[in-house]
Structure 1
Amino acid sequence: MCGAPEQTAELPPGTDLSKESVLVGKVTDGSSPVGGAYVRLLDSTGEFTAEVVSSASGDYRFFARPGTWTVRALSRSGNGQAEVTVGGPGLFTTEVEVA
């Protein structure tokens, strides 16, 4: 069971994008959002770092340090992944398509 907070499109109150790096996005099957997917954050060496469950609208969110990350989604609709590079504080958006 994943104990992560509920995922929403809105950032939590008090999030300061001038100081924090936030990875956000959606899990889709190419045309529709995929809710209930296990979304994993892997570091540049492929090591597991964190996991959340996508919301009913496919949203996920991670707070991460600068670097290259892999976002991997595992769902009943299939699996998929995307790479994202975090260069510093700010909002970084990537969609993960599962098939």
Structure 2
Amino acid sequence: MCSAPKQGQKLPAGVDVEKETVITGQVTDSSGAPVAGAFVRLLDSTGEFTAEVVASATGDFRFFAAPGTWTVRALSAVGNGDVTVNPDGPGVHEHVVTVAK
């Protein structure tokens, strides 16, 4: 099967990825299927809650953050999962969070 590569999320107009750090990605289950409606949390390097969004119908999420060490945690009916991210500067930093029971 032939298809176009995933294009990723569109950023809002005016976002300067040369100056802003964007943590973005998708929540998936263990088979790689998107998980819609997952609660996606951004935790700082000490584990403190910083922000939360609800994953889109295609499992996508996005946070604007500072460079550093972050945990992205997804909570859903399908299961939970997290990933540690270390954006070292401005730009778009994409990650997949796989959830499982």
Question: Given the two structures, how large is their TM-score scaled by the length of structure 1?
Answer: 0.90
SS of residue matched to 1:72: strand
Task: Output the CA distance in 1 between the equivalents of 2:52 and 2:13.
Answer: 21
Task: Output the CA distance in 1 between the equivalents of 2:94 and 2:77.
Answer: 23
* Pairwise CA RMSD: 1.0
Task: Identify the residue that residue 63 of structure 1 maps to in structure 2.
Answer: 64
Which AA in structure 1 matches 2:41?
R
Q: Which runs of 5+ in 2 are unaligned?
A: 1-7
User: How far off its partner does 1:96 sit?
Assistant: 0.2
The count of residues paired between Structure 1 and Structure 2 equals 92
Task: Output the CA distance in 1 between the equivalents of 2:77 and 2:63.
Answer: 22
Q: Which runs of 5+ in 1 are unaligned?
A: 1-7
Task: Identify the residue that residue 5 of structure 1 maps to in structure 2.
Answer: none
1:80 partnered with 2:61: no
Task: Output the CA distance in 2 between the equivalents of 1:36 and 1:85.
Answer: 25
Question: Given the two structures, how large is their TM-score scaled by the length of structure 2?
Answer: 0.89
1:13 partnered with 2:25: no
Task: Output the CA distance in 2 between the equivalents of 1:93 and 1:84.
Answer: 9
User: How far off its partner does 1:86 sit?
Assistant: 1.1
Task: Identify the residue that residue 47 of structure 1 maps to in structure 2.
Answer: 48
Which AA in structure 2 matches 1:90?
G
Query: Between Structure 1 and Structure 2, whose CA radius of gyration is higher?
Result: 2
